[in-house]
Structure 1
Amino acid sequence: MSSITPEATEPEPAQAAPTAGPKRPRVPFWAQVFIGLAAGVVLGFVARQFDQAWLAETLKTVGGIFVQLLKVIVVPLVLTAIIVSIANLRQVTNAARLAGETLVWFAITAAASVVVGITLGLLTNPGARATLDTSAAKAPSHTGSWLDFLTSIVPGNFLGLEVSTSADEAGALTSSPDFNILQLVVLGIALGAATLSVGAKAEPFVNLTRSALEVFSKLVWWVIKLSPLGTAALIGSAVANYGWDLLGPLAIFTADVYIGCAIVLLVIYPIVARANGLSPVKFFAGAWPAIQFAFVSRSSIGTLPLTQRVVTHNLGVSRDYASFAVPIGATTKMDGCAAVYPALAAITVAQLFGVDLGLTDYLLIAFVSVVGSAATAGLTGAVVMLTLTLSTLGLPLEGVGLLLAIDPIIDMIRTATNVAGQALIPTVVAKRHGLLDEGVYNANTFGGADARLELDEDEVSVSHSSDTRADDESRVAVPA
Structure 2
Amino acid sequence: MKTNNLLTAFQNDWVSLLTSIVLIGVLYYLARKRINFGYRVLIALGLGLLAGIFFNKGHHDATSVTTIGTIYVDLIKMIVIPLVAASIITSITSLTNVGQLRKLGLKTVGLFLGTTGIAAIIGLLVALLFDPGSGIHQAVPADFQAREVPTVSQVILDLVPTNPISDMAEGNVVPVIVFALFFAVAIVKLSSKKPETVAPVKQFVESFKEIMFQVTKYVVRLTPYGVYALIANMAAKYGWDTLEPLIMLIIATYVALILHFVLTFGGLVSFAAKVNPLKFVRKAYPTIAVAFTTRSSYVTLPVNLEVITKRLRVSPRIASFVAPLGATINMNGCGGVWPAVVSIFVARVYGIDLHLSDYILIVAAAIIASVGVAGVPGPASISTTVVLTTLGLPLEGLGMVLAIDAVVDMGRTAINATGTTVSALVVANSEGEFDREAFDRNEEDPLELNIA
**TM-score (norm: length of structure 1):** 0.55
Could you say which residue in structure 1 is the equivalent of 2:270? Answer: 274
Aligned-partner residue type, residue 131 of structure 2? N
Could you say which residue in structure 2 is the equivalent of 1:253? Answer: 249
Contact 1:273–1:428 (CA under 8 A) maintained in structure 2: yes
The CA deviation at 1:255 is 0.3
SS at match of 2:404: helix
Contact 1:144–1:376 (CA under 8 A) maintained in structure 2: no
- Is 1:264 aligned with 2:316? no
**Per the alignment, do residues 452 and 345 of structure 1 end up closer, same or farther by CA in structure 2, a change over 3 Å counting?**
same
Contact 1:311–1:427 (CA under 8 A) maintained in structure 2: yes
The CA deviation at 1:356 is 0.5
Could you say which residue in structure 2 is the equivalent of 1:289? Answer: 286
**Per the alignment, do residues 440 and 314 of structure 1 end up closer, same or farther by CA in structure 2, a change over 3 Å counting?**
same
SS at match of 1:453: coil
Could you say which residue in structure 2 is the equivalent of 1:122? Answer: 128
- Is 1:103 aligned with 2:103? no
- Is 1:417 aligned with 2:404? no
What do the CA deviations read for 1:413-468 (whole angstroms, capped 9, x no partner)?
A: 00100000011001111011101111333344xxx85x62259xxxxxxxxxxxxx
Contact 1:307–1:326 (CA under 8 A) maintained in structure 2: yes
Aligned-partner residue type, residue 424 of structure 2? P
What do the CA deviations read for 1:213-257 (whole angstroms, capped 9, x no partner)?
A: xxxxxxxxxxxxxxxxxxxxxxxxxxxxxxxx9953411111010
- Is 1:342 aligned with 2:339? yes
What do the CA deviations read for 1:106-158 (whole angstroms, capped 9, x no partner)?
A: 2322222112111111111111x24465689999xxx8934368399745457
Contact 1:130–1:251 (CA under 8 A) maintained in structure 2: no
Q: Distance in 2 between matches of 1:96 and 1:247?
A: 48
SS at match of 1:166: helix
The structure that has the greater radius of gyration is: 1
Aligned-partner residue type, residue 372 of structure 1? A
Q: Distance in 1 between matches of 2:301 and 2:122?
A: 26
**Per the alignment, do residues 94 and 275 of structure 1 end up closer, same or farther by CA in structure 2, a change over 3 Å counting?**
farther
Q: Distance in 2 between matches of 1:137 and 1:292?
A: 44
Aligned-partner residue type, residue 113 of structure 1? A
Q: Distance in 2 between matches of 1:440 and 1:126?
A: 45
**Per the alignment, do residues 404 and 422 of structure 1 end up closer, same or farther by CA in structure 2, a change over 3 Å counting?**
same
**Per the alignment, do residues 86 and 385 of structure 1 end up closer, same or farther by CA in structure 2, a change over 3 Å counting?**
closer
Q: How many residues align?
A: 302
Q: Distance in 2 between matches of 1:440 and 1:246?
A: 53
**TM-score (norm: length of structure 2):** 0.58
**Per the alignment, do residues 389 and 56 of structure 1 end up closer, same or farther by CA in structure 2, a change over 3 Å counting?**
same
Gaps of 5+ in 2: 1-28, 41-93, 145-170, 185-201, 226-240
Contact 1:116–1:260 (CA under 8 A) maintained in structure 2: yes
What do the CA deviations read for 1:25-72 (whole angstroms, capped 9, x no partner)?
A: xxxxxxxxxxxxxxxxxxxxxxxxxxxx989956528999xxxxxxxx
Contact 1:283–1:441 (CA under 8 A) maintained in structure 2: no
Could you say which residue in structure 2 is the equivalent of 1:431? Answer: 429
**Per the alignment, do residues 426 and 397 of structure 1 end up closer, same or farther by CA in structure 2, a change over 3 Å counting?**
same
Question: Counterparts of 1:190-229 in structure 2 under 5 Å?
Answer: none
Could you say which residue in structure 2 is the equivalent of 1:23? Answer: none
SS at match of 1:379: coil
Contact 2:334–2:412 (CA under 8 A) maintained in structure 1: yes
**Per the alignment, do residues 155 and 422 of structure 1 end up closer, same or farther by CA in structure 2, a change over 3 Å counting?**
farther
Q: Distance in 1 between matches of 2:290 and 2:275?
A: 23
Could you say which residue in structure 1 is the equivalent of 2:392? Answer: 394
**Per the alignment, do residues 102 and 339 of structure 1 end up closer, same or farther by CA in structure 2, a change over 3 Å counting?**
same
Contact 2:141–2:394 (CA under 8 A) maintained in structure 1: no
**Per the alignment, do residues 118 and 54 of structure 1 end up closer, same or farther by CA in structure 2, a change over 3 Å counting?**
closer
SS at match of 1:330: helix
What do the CA deviations read for 1:327-373 (whole angstroms, capped 9, x no partner)?
A: 11111111111111111100000000011000000000111122221
Superposition RMSD in Å = 4.0
Contact 2:173–2:390 (CA under 8 A) maintained in structure 1: no
Could you say which residue in structure 2 is the equivalent of 1:452? Answer: 446
Q: Distance in 2 between matches of 1:265 and 1:357?
A: 27
Identity %: 31
Contact 1:333–1:373 (CA under 8 A) maintained in structure 2: yes
Contact 2:292–2:410 (CA under 8 A) maintained in structure 1: yes
Aligned-partner residue type, residue 283 of structure 1? F
Contact 1:270–1:280 (CA under 8 A) maintained in structure 2: yes
